Amino acid sequence: NSFVTRTNTCGELRSAHVGQEVTLYGWIQYQRQGLFLILRDFQGLTQVIIPQDEAHSHVKKLLSNAPVESVVRVTGIVSSRPPGQENPKMPTGDIEVKAETAEILNSCKKLPFEMKDFIKKSEALRMQYRYLDLRSFRLQYNLRLRSRIVMRMREYLCNLHGFVDVETPTLFKRTPGGAKEFLVPSREAGKFYSLPQSPQQFKQLLMVGGLDRYFQVARCYRDEGSRPDRQPEFTQIDIEMSFVDQAGIQRLIEGLLQYSWPEERGSITTPFPSMTYEEALADYGTDKPDTRFGMKIVDISDFLRRSDIQFVQNALSYPRGTVRAICIPQGARYLKNKDLESLKDSAKSQFNQEIMEIICRPDRSLKSLLTKFLGEKQQSELIQALNIQMDDVVLLAAGEHKQVCSALGSLRLESADLLEAAGLVLRDPTAFHFLWVVDFPLFLPKEENPTELESAHHPFTAPHPSDTSLLYSDPTKVRSQHYDLVLNGSEVGGGSIRIHSAEQQRFVLEKVLKEDSEVLSHLLEALEFGAPPHGGIALGLDRLVSLIVDAPSIRDVIAFPKSFRGRDLMGNAPDYVTPEELEPYHIQVSWPLAEKEAKKN
């Protein structure tokens, strides 16, 4: 209550305050028949008794007629609630305030939606009136918790470990590779700034500048179009250190998360487990495994190599051919036929992968098109290999290793969703399973042209020390010093040890990635002036906080998020500008196209 004219907040009054005169400010959450109202502020709720005597008739009239969500000041005496009228669900439920004077500071007009948390509102409406949505308990809690976490992170990094908080520029130039960047016109004809997708180059340059330990709560921008649960502008906890290795960064982040972790979410255990990229793909079909539940992918290639099943033999004849399966516990009991068909259709449409199912009947016999090709002994071995129990369903896939694993990894998550929708709990919503994924490939084939390579992380990532020679002979086989932090199946952080040799960085850009190194001439030159070995990481703050509070979307932990299509529905941005406003930037808009867009919207 420092610096303000209230004596107390609406969430702090208790029996110890009985008899005191208090002044409260807040919003009217609810009013009942001119008898009492509930006053709300950021901290909680207080019941205010509206006086019924003639001497206070003006106060009664004022408070009885005030619309819900009006802002009021109330001064009155704290009293105990009459016996039997206490409300144990309210922290202030033992008391009430008997109003003596009141003032309507601002009346509220008719609301576009009811403010109660349990009433469903369309997301578009919530975002259009975001300032009203922010009054909800859920968003208030999320934003305050986010603030607390960031404050603790600052303490840990700056006060305990000597990091320097540095703000880096938002207007910069295009970075080759990576996500698409927003362009900002300049007054120089044909020249544009780019909004950085991360402060990557600046943090490396700070290490060249000898700052040793840098961090920033950084605003980042990516022009990725319409992608679910992504934002065109987002926040990351950006970190870089000199003279560090991968293990040092991992220990720092584990300590940082343990220190800043909210008490009400339990404790987290360190060190976090670690898994290679190849292990993650083979066991979970993804580089961000959700390890809260089993249903791991099992390799049954050797077991089925002896069979006469034609599609299995075809798959195994390829160099990276494999046969793998996942076992869905109680699948026959909880999943309907249409669910199984939907899973198979999903694998076919997303991964071009055929799926065969095997169902374990109550008598422990197997029902499948495959059983006629398998003898009793082989069926028994299959049951043992996959630990099949009564009513389990096995989904089997044969083909190229990465395609098979990716398809089964996707089906593992989809079938978990279906089982949980049917009432079987697989993933504890209160559990937090952190995991390091390491030893990623340094380069991947480009989707649009598989003969060319692109960086799996970004072009500044250093090769694994054991694979440095392969960089010059067979770059497709090089592992990187890139590490991802995964929480409950979502990537919440990613980083790497960086290339600090100008010669090696130039080779990667020009010879491997076929990029124009001139765009990065400033960084390449900096690396020639005694750049220290360095590495870092960035934690996605929005994603991390949304997982901690179990929010359905990252939009629920951002004060003013953009819509699914990247629009600000409240301020109606982006918006058109006049030709006169564009003139200093030497830009002309193709207006027919703009008009088409206007009609479409």
Show the tokens assigned to 508. 């990667």
Q: What mean pLDDT do residues 280-303 have?
A: 96
CA 515 to chain centre: 31
600 pLDDT band, cuts 50/70/90, is: low
117 pLDDT band, cuts 50/70/90, is: confident
Task: Assess contact for 36 and 49: CB atoms under 8 A.
Answer: yes
Q: What mean pLDDT do residues 508-527 have?
A: 94
pLDDT value at residue 597: 62
Assess whether pLDDT exceeds 80 at residue 592.
no
Please state, in angstroms and as integers, the Cα–Cα distance from residue 401 to each residue in 283, 322, 341, 386, 444, following that order.
12, 6, 23, 19, 16
pTM: 0.93
pLDDT value at residue 514: 93
pLDDT value at residue 226: 62
User: For 235, how many CA atoms within 13 A lie in the half-sphere containing its CB?
Assistant: 18
Residue 94 to residue 88: CA distance in whole angstroms? 8
Task: Assess contact for 482 and 494: CB atoms under 8 A.
Answer: yes
Q: What mean pLDDT do residues 152-167 have?
A: 98
Residue that has been written with the tokens 């765009």 in this structure: 519
Assess whether pLDDT exceeds 60 at residue 213.
yes
pLDDT, tens digit, for every residue of 494-505?
999 999 999 999
pLDDT value at residue 498: 98
595 pLDDT band, cuts 50/70/90, is: low
Residue 523 to residue 78: CA distance in whole angstroms? 65
Secondary structure (DSSP) of 232-275: SEEEEEEEEEES--HHHHHHHHHHHHHHHS-GGG----SSPPEE
Secondary structure (DSSP) of 529-552: TTPPPEEEEEEEHHHHHHHHTT-S
Beta bridge partners of 40: 27, 45
Q: What mean pLDDT do residues 360-364 have?
A: 90
pLDDT, tens digit, for every residue of 13-30?
999 999 999 999 999 999
Residue 104's CB: how many other CB atoms inside 10 A? 16
Assess whether pLDDT exceeds 70 at residue 596.
no
pLDDT mean across residues, the chain? 94
297 pLDDT band, cuts 50/70/90, is: very high
Residue 471 to residue 486: CA distance in whole angstroms? 27
Residue that has been written with the tokens 């300049």 in this structure: 186
Tell which wins on pLDDT, 174 or 55: 55
pLDDT value at residue 491: 97
Assess whether pLDDT exceeds 90 at residue 217.
yes
Assess whether pLDDT exceeds 60 at residue 599.
no
DSSP code of residue 35: T
pLDDT, tens digit, for every residue of 378-403?
888 899 999 999 999 999 999 999 99
565 pLDDT band, cuts 50/70/90, is: confident
Q: Where are the beta strands (DSSP E) in 342-470?
A: 356-360, 366-367, 393-400, 434-438, 443-445, 453-455
Q: Judging by DSSP bridges, how do beta strands 213-221 and 298-299 pair with one another?
A: unpaired
Q: Is the peptide bond before 169 cis (omega within 30 degrees of 0)?
A: no
Show the tokens assigned to 594. 């703009």
Give long-range contacts, CB 8 A cutoff, 24+ apart: 204-207: 204/240, 204/460, 204/498, 204/523, 204/526, 204/531, 204/534, 205/523, 205/526, 206/166, 206/240, 207/240, 207/241, 207/242, 207/531, 207/532, 207/534
Tell which wins on pLDDT, 382 or 482: 482
535 pLDDT band, cuts 50/70/90, is: very high
545 pLDDT band, cuts 50/70/90, is: very high
pLDDT value at residue 310: 86
Residue 52's CB: how many other CB atoms inside 10 A? 10
pLDDT value at residue 433: 98
pLDDT value at residue 598: 61
3-class DSSP assignment, residue 516: coil
pLDDT value at residue 590: 82
Q: What mean pLDDT do residues 5-11 have?
A: 96
Domains of the chain: 15-106 (2.40.50.140), 141-275+434-556 (3.30.930.10), 293-422 (3.30.1360.30)
Show the tokens assigned to 38. 């509930």
pLDDT value at residue 378: 85
Burial class of 170 by CB neighbour count within 10 A (0 to 12, 13 to 18, 19+)? middle
Q: Judging by DSSP bridges, how do beta strands 356-360 and 393-400 pair with one another?
A: antiparallel
Q: What is the per-residue burial (b if ≥16 Cβ within 10 Å, else e) of 110-131?
A: eeeeebeeeeebebeebbbebe
Q: Where are the beta strands (DSSP E) in 355-512?
A: 356-360, 366-367, 393-400, 434-438, 443-445, 453-455, 482-487, 490-497
Assess whether pLDDT exceeds 90 at residue 439.
yes
Please state, in angstroms and as integers, the Cα–Cα distance from residue 441 to each residue in 90, 454, 463, 479, 543, following that order.
54, 11, 9, 4, 24
pLDDT, tens digit, for every residue of 79-114?
999 999 999 999 999 999 999 999 999 999 999 998
Residue ranges of alpha helices (H) inside 475-565 are: 502-507, 521-527, 541-548
pLDDT value at residue 308: 80
Assess whether pLDDT exceeds 80 at residue 441.
yes
Q: What mean pLDDT do residues 285-312 have?
A: 92
pLDDT value at residue 71: 98
pLDDT value at residue 228: 65
Q: Judging by DSSP bridges, how do beta strands 393-400 and 434-438 pair with one another?
A: unpaired
Q: What percent of the chain has pLDDT over 70?
A: 97
Burial class of 404 by CB neighbour count within 10 A (0 to 12, 13 to 18, 19+)? buried
CA 446 to chain centre: 26
pLDDT, tens digit, for every residue of 411-431?
999 999 999 999 999 999 899
Q: Is the dihedral of CA 264, 551, 438, 299 positive or negative?
A: positive
Give long-range contacts, CB 8 A cutoff, 24+ apart: 15-22: 15/80, 15/94, 15/95, 17/78, 17/95, 18/78, 18/79, 18/80, 18/95, 19/77, 19/78, 20/77, 20/78, 21/75, 21/76, 21/77, 21/78, 21/100, 22/75, 22/76, 22/77, 22/78, 22/97
pLDDT, tens digit, for every residue of 249-282?
999 999 999 999 999 999 999 999 999 999 999 9
